[in-house]
Amino acid sequence: MSDYQIISADEAKALIASEAVTILDVRDHRSYRAGHIEGARILHDDLEQALLAEGELERPLLFYCYRGNDSKAKAEHFARLGFQRVYSLDNGFTGWPRETPGPSPST
């Protein structure tokens, strides 16, 4: 049986920058629409079935929720299904650094 890892936002950013990661938001649709990690897809039953059907068990999966609790359960579930590289974002979306706008360029 596979296991999952809890990783920090910095570790998640490094993983995302280094390879193709499927980022899965386990929050509700309203929260997702209000803001989410770039490239994230909201997890629903059809997407779970599609990921299983593709059979790419080596594909890295990164789960996140509000504060990092619900995503642990989803990560564990997918690890039990045989996915080999499963991660849960520590502190969830609340721990994800928000991009702050830089100074406006002078004209």
Share of the chain above pLDDT 90, in %: 80
Share of the chain above pLDDT 70, in %: 90
Active site (annotated) includes residue 24:
no
Rounded CA-CA distance 32/30 in Å is: 5
- Domain-by-domain residue ranges, the chain? 4-95
Q: What is the DSSP string of 70-95?
A: HHHHHHHHHHHTT-SSEEEETTGGGG
At 20-72, the pLDDT tens digits run 999 999 999 999 999 999 999 999 889 989 999 998 999 999 999 999 889 99
Residue 1 has pLDDT above 90, yes or no: no
The single-letter DSSP state of residue 43 is -
Fold topology of 4-95: Oxidized Rhodanese; domain 1 (3.40.250)
Active-site hit among 65, 75, 86, 89: 65
